[in-house]
Structures are given as structure tokens and as C-alpha cells.
A and B are shown apart, each in its own frame.
Chain A
Amino acid sequence: MTSSPGLLAYLLIPLFTAVAIPFAARFRTRMADVLANVTLLAGLLNLSLLLFDPANADSSFSAIPDDGFSLLMVFVIYLVGLCVTFFSTYFMEEGSGVARAPYFALIMTSVSAMCGIVTTGDFFTLYIFIEVLAVSSFALIASGERTGGLEGAIKYLLLTFPASLFILLGVAFLMLTAGTFSFEGVKTLVASGMPAGGTVFAVSLLLLGFLIKSGVVPFHAWTPDAYEGAYSPVSAFLAGIVTKIAGVYAVIKIAIILRLFDVKTCPAADILMFLGMLSIAVGAVAALRQNELKRMLAFSSISQVGYIVLAAGIGTPLAILGAIFHLVNHATFKTTLYLNSASLEKGAGTSDMTKLGGMEHSMPWTSWTSVVALMSTAGVPPLSGFWSKLLIIVALWDGGARIYAVLALLFSIVTLAYFMVMQRKVFFGKPTEASRAAREVRPAMLAPVVAMSVLIVALGVFFPYIYAYLVDTVAARIIL
């Protein structure tokens, strides 16, 4: 069962490409990245024409098929996928020792699995695609020659395995208590007013599994190790989109579809909000103490996921719109930052922040695109991150969770503080030995981050269009 049959092609075509890549690469190795890039670019262009047609705003987005949430997520998956494959094409050329054909084929399999996750209409299929994504991610993290990759991959597998177990148990209990796996079936059952204790229990198990997969505190132990140990472009893929689709997306989906959070007696909503706030706080404070760039970004990612989970917990339509927009924004700024950390590693030979400084002189493009992404993460207006955080905080205030709203605002300032510290350490200040010897990476490797930075600014400047899209296609069609 799929909730969005029109989007099936976006799932099947990358899968065909993944199968075709090993055969095509036998004739010429470069065919692997050509096929991956062309497939993703074609899909992205098609999606962009559909999403950003100026006529949409006048017609209340009537041309957008199905629910706008799935379509937006497929767009983000293709966008991050293309940035990572394009960057990897040139990152690899400089001798990283990664098997090219399986690497690109696995990225395409992951893209296909993520599209499956966001277009499915039932929990069983969701579970299967999440497992496909976990298996592909395991091999992707282990790519590259560093032993840290394999260690990170094993940690990822072992620590997210209990999550899969909880999801599977949740699916089994759902079958037992609700007699259906489908989102609509469960929604109808909950809405019918019959005692939903069993269904709530099953959904709570599912939520627990998805929260572990999201890396929310206290289930965050695996994220910094996996992101730090992974092959550098894979960190961007993992932090930018994979863990968000495998965990956070499902949490938002449960909040939307089941409407469990309308019922204030349901403690799941309160727990979700508490864990969200805890993640914001722990992630922000831990990020302040890191010296390794990728680890700091990993903790920042935990903190940003906290905002999304907090919004899903309050569950009002405005909060859900804020959570969805923050998910999109997180994909754009975190992909930029991780790709730039890979460039820094390549250009300066280290990502240790104590050894970097004044990178703005030797790597200006990398530095300034990072600054844009950092400011968006911290919620500086008029960048995209500002609007999503504003929506979440206003929704929390409106929904009566005023303490959470104030705390979310305060920790947003902490986020700004640690990014200011990082900017001073890495990009500005006195050049160090490593930064004097550093050289800017080639333009092809800068293209994805420049495009992402433009998008970060554009999403902020054209926020009214994005808000209208979310209201007309998400709030009107699937929330209200």
C-alpha cells in the first residue's frame, strides 16, 4: 500500500540505477557516478518544476498530487542525494580507496529506500524500507580506508538494532490490537473512540524505535561515533538525510496520522516533548565542549532534531508545519556543513578545530558557505532556519507549553554561541600552520555547497511561498 502512487517512479528509478551501476561500471568505472548523478539530477529537475511552478501559488497548489509532505521529502532526499554523489565524484578522484561502483549503487539504494519510507501508507512497509536503509547505511559508513569507518558501522548496526526490534514488536502488536498496519486503518480505529490502549501501546513501541533511530537523547550514543567515523561524504548523507528519514520523519508521521497527541491524557506526547527538550539542551551543551569538527556537528544535529521532536510532541498543526520545515532546513544546512568539513579535511588535512584558524584566507568559498549554514542553524534572520524555529516556538507558546517555548529560545542562543566560537576558531582569527598550507578545493566540489547555501537563503527570503505550500498541501490535506 502506498499513500502516494504518483511518487512510485521516484522510488523505482534509483533502484533500477542501483542494479544497473555494477554492470555499467564493468565497461567504464566512471559510468557509476555518471549514472547516479544523471538519475538524481533528472528526478530533482522534475520535482523542482512541480514544486516551484509560480502558478502553484495562485491555484492553491492544486497541481501538487497526493500529500505535500511526501513530495517535499522526496525532493529533499533527491537534493541531498545529488549533492553527496556529485561531491563524492570529485572527492574520490583524489584517491580515497573506495570501491566506486558499490558506493554509488548503495547511495542509490538508500535514496530508493528513503523514497519508500516517505511514500508508504503502512507500518509494515515502513519497517522493511527502514531496514533496507539500515543495511545500505552500514556498508556506506564502512566505506573508505579508515578503520574508524568499520568501527562506526558496527556501532551503528549494534545500537540501532534494538530500535528495529522495537519497531518490529510495535508492528506485531499493531496487527494484534488494531488488525491492520495501514496508517488510515489505525487512524480510523483511534478516531472511532473505542478503548485504544493496545494501539497506543503498539504505537509507543514504534515511537521508541524511531526515537532511537533519530539519535534523540538518551538514545544518542551512536550518532557522534557513526558520523565521525564514517567516510566524509557519507557523514553528510547520514546526518543530512538518512537518520532524519529513518527516525524523525516517522515520528512526525505518527504525530500527524494518529492524532494521538490531541488526546492530552496520552502521556506519549508529554514524553516526546520532554525528550525533545532534553536533546536540545544536551546536544547544545555537548557541542560547546567539542574540539573535533565532525563531532561538534553531530551534537548540533542531536540538538536540532530535538526541536523537531519537541514540535511533533505538541502536535498542533502549526507545530507540525514548523517540524516539517525544520526537517527540510536541517537537511540543507547540515549537508552543507558536513560537506565543508570533508573539504576542510581534504584542504587542510585535519578537522581538529584547535589546529585550524583563519581558514577564510585559504579556503574562502568553503568558509563563507559554512558561515551561511551555521547562521541558518542558529536561527539568524532572514535565513531559512530562523523561520522554522520561529514557527516551532510560536506553536509551543500558543499550545500552552510556554516553559518549553522559553527554553527552546534560550538554547537557540546557546546554538548561536557555539557556532560563534567555532567560526572564530576555524574560519576567522589568526591563520595556523595547517591553514597556511591549505588550498581551496576544486570548483566542482564547491558547487553542491554553493547551491545549498543559495537554497538556504532562498528558502528564507521566499518563506511566504513555502508557508503557503505547507498550509495548502500539508495542513489542509493531511493534518486538518
Chain B
Amino acid sequence: MTYHNLLFILVVLSAVAAVMARDLLLNALMLALVSVGTALLLFDFQAPWAGVFELSVCAGLITVLFVSAVSLIRREDGKVEDSRARFRAMPLVMGIAAIALWLYGIPFFEALENWSRFSDRTASLGTIIWDTRRFDLVGQVSMLAAGVLVIRSIFPRRKK
């Protein structure tokens, strides 16, 4: 339980730091730390599939992309000069959210667990992910094509 709580605190603090930090590199690294913490939690909750994807894609691949992009930006552009005054209320908001979650979140997820017993649990998540999927792979190919086309569409114009 202590291990879980520590991980939760790590995830929340890293998430706050990812939003608050002025340095883009620090933003990216804090976001990676959020993903690492989440992945460890997922492993601990017997969700290895989700944990592996979180660790490899979110903590690994996306961080590499962010850090590469940040390294292409000049140092002076990386500093965000806008005011952080609006974030001063953040601890208060987080405190209220934590109390609300403690009161309503836990009973809600317990109720959700009761609902889950109605579903057919014979198929494992692995079976569902790999064996019942066909058509959505076309969607993912489309997403890759769309991503490339979006970059081609927006960036040549920005160069001007």
C-alpha cells in the first residue's frame, strides 16, 4: 500500500512539474516520469500489457521525440515567458480534487467493479487486443497517412 501511495504521489508531483516548468526539456522529462510512474502502477495492478505499452511508447518513444524536437529549438525560444500567476491556485484545486476523489471516486470504482462481473471474462485482454482486431488496423494506417499529410500541409507554409 505504501508502495502504491508513493507511486501515486510521484505521478501527481511529476504531472504538476510537467505543467509548471518553464524549460521545455524539463517539461518533456517530467512527462516521461509521469509515464514511468503510471507504468509501474499498471504492472503492480497486474496489467502488464498496459504497463509495457505505457513504458515503451509514452515513456520511451514520445520522450525521445519530444527531446529531439526540443533540441532543434534554439535555447532562447525554449523559455516560456508567459505568467505563471494563474497556476498559484493549483495546490488548492488539487487539494479539493483529492478530497472529492477520496469521497466519491473510491465508492464509484467499487461500484464499477461490481458491474464488471456481468461481462464475459473468458477472453483475456491479449485475445481481445490481438485476435478480435482487423478493421481498426486500417484506421491506424490511415492515422499514419494523415499524420504525414498534416506535416506536409502545415510546415511548408510556416517556412515562409
Chain A contacts to B: CB under 8 angstroms: 1-2, 11-12, 15, 18-19, 22, 97, 99, 101-103, 105-106, 109, 112-113, 116, 120-122, 124-125, 128-129, 131-132, 135-136, 138-140, 142-143, 145, 173, 175-180, 189, 194-195, 197-199, 201
Contact = CB atoms under 8 A, between A and B. Distances in A.
A106 B151 CA distance: 11
Contacts of A138: 150
A99 B152 contact: yes
Given A177-B115, A177-B119, A195-B118, A2 B146 contact: no
A176 B113 CA distance: 8
A173 B119 CA distance: 11
A102 B152 contact: yes
19 contacts: A1-B135, A2-B134, A101-B152, A116-B135, A116-B142, A122-B136, A124-B133, A125-B135, A128-B139, A132-B143, A135-B147, A142-B153, A176-B112, A176-B119, A179-B119, A180-B119, A189-B119, A198-B112, A201-B115
Given A99-B153, A139-B149, A179 B139 contact: no
Nearest to A144: B157
A19 B141 CA distance: 11
B149 A18 contact: yes
A443 to B, nearest CB: 29
Contacts of B88: none
A189 B150 contact: no
Interface in B114-160: 115-116, 118-121, 123, 128, 132-136, 138-143, 145-147, 149-150, 152-154, 156-157
A120 B133 CA distance: 12
**Residue among A15, A145, A173, A189 with max Cβ neighbours from chain B (10 Å):** A15
A15 B119 contact: no
Contacts of A112: 142
B136 A125 contact: yes
Contacts of B146: 106, 109, 113, 132, 135-136, 139
B153 A129 contact: no
Contact of A176 (B115, B132, B156): B115
B136 A173 contact: no
A132 to B, nearest CB: 5
A256 to B, nearest CB: 19
Contacts of A103: 153
Chain B at the A interface: mostly helix, strand, loop or mixed?
Answer: helix
B149 A136 contact: yes
Interface residues of B, number: 30
Contacts of B123: 179
A15 B153 contact: no
Q: Which of A113, A175, A198 has the most CB of B within 10 A?
A: A198
B116 A176 contact: yes
Contacts of B136: 120, 122, 124-125, 128
Q: Which 10 residue pairs of A and B lie closest in terms of their CB atoms, listed nearest first?
A: A198-B115, A179-B119, A102-B153, A128-B139, A125-B136, A139-B150, A102-B152, A177-B115, A139-B153, A132-B142
A120 B135 contact: yes
Nearest to A22: B152
A101 B149 CA distance: 9
A99 B142 contact: no
Given A135-B147, A176-B112, A198-B112, A12 B153 contact: no
B134 A1 contact: yes
Given A132-B139, A177-B112, A177-B115, A19 B145 contact: yes
A177 B114 CA distance: 9
B152 A116 contact: no
A337 B103 CA distance: 52
A135 B143 contact: yes
Contacts of A19: 145
Contacts of B157: 97, 99, 145
B45 to A, nearest CB: 13
Nearest to A124: B136
B46 to A, nearest CB: 14
A101 B150 CA distance: 11
Contacts of A11: 138
B130 to A, nearest CB: 13
A198 B115 CA distance: 6
Interface in B11-55: none
Contacts of B141: 15
